[in-house]
Structure 1
Amino acid sequence: MAEYLKRIAFMVADEGIEQVELTSPWQAVLDVPAEPRLIGPELGTVRGFNHLEPADEFSVDVALADAAPADYAGLVLPGGVANADKLRMNPHAVRFVRDFIAAGKPIAAICHAPWLLVEADVLRGKTLTSYPSLATDIRNAGGEWVDEEVFVCPGNGWHLVTSRTPKDLDAFNAAALKAFGL
């Protein structure tokens, strides 16, 4: 792709990614056009899932330890219970999110992905939505949880776009692209 296109990071674990929560925003970024880049724990492939069923493999463009927020205009965090749980236990993923926020760049997280934001301790004073089972975790991390299709929370130089489930992907994609300036 041309060098002038904005790059959008998609950060995932090695497996357990809710596939449609990766592929739908990815296609939305391509359609703008912008350049999506897949960041994973290491180079190689990662596996998507259709809920609990293994699905497609995707090639990682950048190893997480080598990823730099300065290279991206926005960050998408796809859901999936196992994906989110593995990412929040990865110190490189937590650091990347904190550095992204420190740089004042927007983040879009769907479904279980806000678990990584809980772990990064960046939700104090933020309002967001997620899969409903995360509501208590978000409140305990100092955030306010709302049950909405998509919620955009601005503040302190960075915007947070969140949605609940794959049913919300159209609204999520539109809000994420707007937050990314696309």
Structure 2
Amino acid sequence: MGLLTHRIIAVLAVDGFEESELTVPVQRLKEENATVHIISAEMGKIQPMKGDKDWTIEVDVDKTIADADASTYHGLLLPGGVLNPDTLRKNEDALTFVKAFFEAGKPVAAICHAPQILISAEVVKGRKLTSIPHISIDLKNAGANWVDEEVVVDQGLVTSRSPKDLPAFCDKIVEEFAEGVHSGQHA
């Protein structure tokens, strides 16, 4: 029995996510016996990029954002990549979905460029987090306390900088998803 037995985790992604930032955490979540749903703008398959230049594998979508109910999930994973967050931050349904996790105090994990989605969802003000360094100014301008660390946990919000941080990121997301609702997590 894994640490995440009976936990259902949403992974929000569209074409252009960074391959390892979805596949590695999803594998770890499943090893801990979590149920994982890939949620996207449309049904079918989504395709990641590896290093922002090579399209790679295809990933099956389990639900559309329009059909997903945030209240049925115990946590949210946001993989990065350049295209993925840029597309999702313009999707009002996606932003509403993300914000619902913060309003309910549920853990959220975001890596690399994914905190750009959090900026657009208006949930970073006053929060300590990290990301890929070149979006740090955007996070600071949105009111976040940005730090350059491997993994940062702030009341159920887990962030990391890049794929090289995936081991620490995966350890912390398992821990936070297992803990469940955090009273300090807020929109």
What's the TM-score once normalised by structure 2's chain length?
0.91
Q: Residue 47 of structure 1 aligns to which amino acid in structure 2?
A: Q
Residue 43 (structure 1) aligns with: 43
- 1:137 & 1:54 partners in 2: Cα distance? 27
Residues 13-32 of structure 1: pairs in structure 2 closer than 5 A? 13=14, 15-32=15-32
SS at match of 1:151: strand
Q: Which residue is equivalent to 2:72? A: 71
Contact 1:48 1:56 in 2 (8 A): yes
- Report the Cα distance in structure 2 between the residues aligned to 1:87 and 1:110, rounded to whole angstroms: 14
Structure 1's unaligned 5+ residue stretches are none
> How many residues align structurally?
174
Distance 2:176 2:147 in 1: 19
Tell me, yes or no, if the aligned pair for 1:108 and 1:160 is still in contact at 8 Å. yes
Q: How much is the aligned-residue C-alpha RMSD, in angstroms?
A: 0.9
Show the counterpart of 1:110: 111
Q: Which residue of 2 aligns with 1:132?
A: 133
Q: How does 1:1-182 map to 2 (within 5 A)?
A: 5-13=6-14, 15-51=15-51, 52-154=53-155, 159-181=156-178
1:66 CA displacement? 1.0
CA distance in 2, matches of 1:71, 1:56: 28
Structure-2 separation of matches of 1:103 and 1:68 = 12
Q: What SS class does the counterpart of residue 178 from structure 2 fall into?
A: coil
Distance 1:122 1:30 in 2: 28
Contact 1:69 1:103 in 2 (8 A): no
Percent identity over the alignment is: 45
Q: Deviations over 1:52-104 (max 9, x none)?
A: 20001111001001111111111000000100100101111100011111111
- C-alpha separation in 1, matches of 2:56 and 2:105: 34
* Residue-by-residue CA offset, 1:123-176 (whole Å, 9 max, x unaligned): 11101000001101001111011000000011xxxx100000000000000001
4+ residue runs over 6 A deviation: none
What is the CA-CA distance between 1:5 and the residue it aligns to? 2.3
Residue 10 of structure 1, CA deviation = 0.4
User: If each structure's strand is expressed as a fraction of its own residues, which one has the higher value?
Assistant: 1
**For the residues of structure 2 that align with 1:38 and 1:29, how far apart are their CA atoms?**
13
Separation (CA, whole Å) in 1 of partners of 2:161 and 2:86: 16
Whole-angstrom distance in 1 between the partners of 2:92 and 2:32 = 32
TM-score, scaled to structure 1: 0.93
